[in-house]
Chain A
């Protein structure tokens, strides 16, 4: 069923890292920005500040995580549309590779790169967060992977609709980035106008942020089963939809 999956996944990771902007853009740059910002703020982050609720304590790491996820999704949208336009998808399809294997390989490749970026970020971040602050590295990375996986399905939907590779990046960005404003990170959901509130309830990012914030704060997974369930439902809906509208060429 999934013959060739691991080989293709590994190959796609290698190919992605060979892109001029691949390794640098998606792994090194975020970590670098994080380190530079950390240095600039060096010393300002005190255990007292961390202890207070505030944006620096929870908002910032979650925002960074969300940006990493969206970065991965955008890159997936771009790659899929380039592959389609260039006839690569068509060529792969004329092999015993199943369509779902090709898509799964891309999802796994993106998740792997997201996980590596996140891990590096946490390692780099350690230096700037005072000792004694407990960071749930594993749980947070897991939460990010679940979130990314769900948002990737929206990426597929976008990749299914965009006409050419040229438009993939801008259209993807135009759809994905406004979600950041609605996800509850900057303004609590209940303060939004009813229409936007309703919209926020169906966006995966809202649940992703809720999950990421909770896990970062040290809350139990059991308190966030609703978020995980919502992410899975969104994944199922988007995957089904994109399977219907996906074009291989």
Chain B
């Protein structure tokens, strides 16, 4: 990862991946006068969970559907498992699994019927019953699609995406509209997919999801990719300032805290101190200062910047706006 492409490496995002299975280069897609995506380039490495993150309407789904071969870009090159998703669509479909945003099935199709139909379409298929069991749908085998809850529908769509034992799995806005509990359960499933050696390409507008799930993310806005990297790397790159909040009654605390080399600002509100600084040693230095000076604290919290902050910094607005 992180092979620089040009002469000014510091400014270029991590768009190279180790052993890429998906390579996207300079794609553009317009709908009438609207430019949905332009100059989008990235790579997804084998065995990683790669997330395309951005607000609704940023071009996530368009990008993903171009890679899946559902949509044809106006320009640009896409290669997935060494194949062209549009030209080799039918060859490729046996090797990828797809979960589409806002897809539905026939209202009155039964869970097992859907899985058996899907299994019959591919050249190889995993055991349908075991798959339903793994996804917690065994008890819903004979239920009509329309009677399933949001979480159950999503799990069924994951089952359909996994039925052919694919090498690459596409998950588009997988947990949108789910309650936190179902969301966590689905995250566990996605990690399980990766742990079985598969590559996962997902989109989400939930920063927490991206942060907890993705090995690498690409931030997309207004159809353009702003930056690519691991969540930690992006945070370090764009929001290097860390914050420690602590409470102490020690009268000399402020004086001591100001001596911390990596601290940039120290502010005080009654017994509550907010210290900001940067560098890998910052938090350690704060702790060291406290113990060296025997400062007794009643509260100690580190506030680390998140992808949400990175997004805010890069775009000037919150992702939910």
Evaluate contact between B121 and A18: CB separation under 8 angstroms. no
A94 on interface, CB distance cutoff 8 Å: yes
Number of A-B contacts (CB under 8 A): 57
Evaluate contact between A88 and B121: CB separation under 8 angstroms. no
B109 on interface, CB distance cutoff 8 Å: yes
Contact pick for B109, options A15, A90, A98, CB 8 Å: A15
Evaluate contact between A96 and B121: CB separation under 8 angstroms. yes
- Considering the complex, which residues of chain A in the window 82-129 have a beta carbon less than 8 Å from any beta carbon of chain B? 83, 86-88, 90-91, 93-98
B304 on interface, CB distance cutoff 8 Å: no
Which single residue of chain A is at the shortest CB-CB distance from B102?
A87
Between-chain CB contacts (< 8 Å), 24 pairs: A4-B120, A4-B121, A7-B117, A7-B120, A11-B109, A11-B113, A15-B106, A15-B109, A86-B104, A88-B105, A88-B106, A91-B100, A91-B104, A94-B68, A94-B98, A94-B100, A94-B103, A95-B93, A95-B118, A95-B121, A96-B90, A96-B93, A97-B121, A98-B90
Known: A94-B103, A95-B118. 15 other contacts (CB 8 A): A4-B121, A7-B116, A7-B120, A11-B113, A14-B113, A15-B106, A15-B107, A15-B109, A19-B108, A86-B104, A87-B100, A88-B105, A88-B106, A91-B103, A93-B70
Looking at chain B, what size class is its interface with the partner chain? 20 to 34
Contact with B along A10-36 (1 / 0, CB 8 A): 011011001100000000000000000
Interface residues, chain A, CB within 8 Å of chain B?
3-4, 7-8, 11-12, 14-15, 18-19, 83, 86-88, 90-91, 93-98
Chain B residues within 8 Å of A4, by CB: 117, 120-121
B94 on interface, CB distance cutoff 8 Å: yes
Given A3-B121, A11-B113, the answer on whether A90 and B100 have CB atoms closer than 8 Å is yes
Which single residue of chain B is at the shortest CB-CB distance from A97?
B121
Chain A residues within 8 Å of B98, by CB: 94-95
Chain A residues within 8 Å of B102, by CB: 87
Contact with A along B63-106 (1 / 0, CB 8 A): 00000101000000000000000000010011000101011111
B300 on interface, CB distance cutoff 8 Å: no
Evaluate contact between B103 and A88: CB separation under 8 angstroms. yes
Chain B residues within 8 Å of A94, by CB: 68, 70, 93, 98, 100, 103
Cα A12 to Cα B113 with chains together (Å) = 11
**Chain B: minimal CB distance from A144 (Å):** 27
Which secondary structure dominates where chain B touches chain A?
loop
Evaluate contact between B103 and A87: CB separation under 8 angstroms. yes
Chain B residues within 8 Å of A7, by CB: 116-117, 120
**Chain A: minimal CB distance from B128 (Å):** 13
Chain B residues within 8 Å of A83, by CB: 106
**Chain A: minimal CB distance from B79 (Å):** 19
Cα A19 to Cα B116 with chains together (Å) = 21
Interface residues, chain B, CB within 8 Å of chain A?
68, 70, 90, 93-94, 98, 100, 102-109, 113, 116-118, 120-122, 144
Cα A100 to Cα B192 with chains together (Å) = 36
**Chain B: minimal CB distance from A31 (Å):** 23
Chain A residues within 8 Å of B118, by CB: 95
Chain B residues within 8 Å of A87, by CB: 100, 102-104
Evaluate contact between A91 and B117: CB separation under 8 angstroms. no
**Chain B: minimal CB distance from A75 (Å):** 14
Cα A179 to Cα B105 with chains together (Å) = 34
Cα A232 to Cα B70 with chains together (Å) = 32
Evaluate contact between A96 and B94: CB separation under 8 angstroms. yes
Chain B residues within 8 Å of A11, by CB: 106, 109, 113, 117
**Chain A: minimal CB distance from B110 (Å):** 9
**Chain A: minimal CB distance from B106 (Å):** 5
Cα A98 to Cα B93 with chains together (Å) = 11
**Chain A: minimal CB distance from B187 (Å):** 23
**Chain A: minimal CB distance from B83 (Å):** 14
Cα A98 to Cα B113 with chains together (Å) = 19
Q: Which of B94, B103, B120 has the most CB of A within 10 A?
A: B103
Cα A97 to Cα B164 with chains together (Å) = 14
**Chain B: minimal CB distance from A2 (Å):** 11
Evaluate contact between A90 and B90: CB separation under 8 angstroms. no
Q: Which of A88, A91, A97 has the most CB of B within 10 A?
A: A91
**Chain B: minimal CB distance from A203 (Å):** 32
Contact pick for A96, options B103, B106, B122, CB 8 Å: B122
Smallest CB-CB A-B distances: 7 pairs = A91-B103, A18-B108, A86-B104, A87-B103, A94-B98, A96-B93, A4-B121
**Chain A: minimal CB distance from B117 (Å):** 6
Chain B residues within 8 Å of A3, by CB: 120-121
**Chain A: minimal CB distance from B235 (Å):** 34
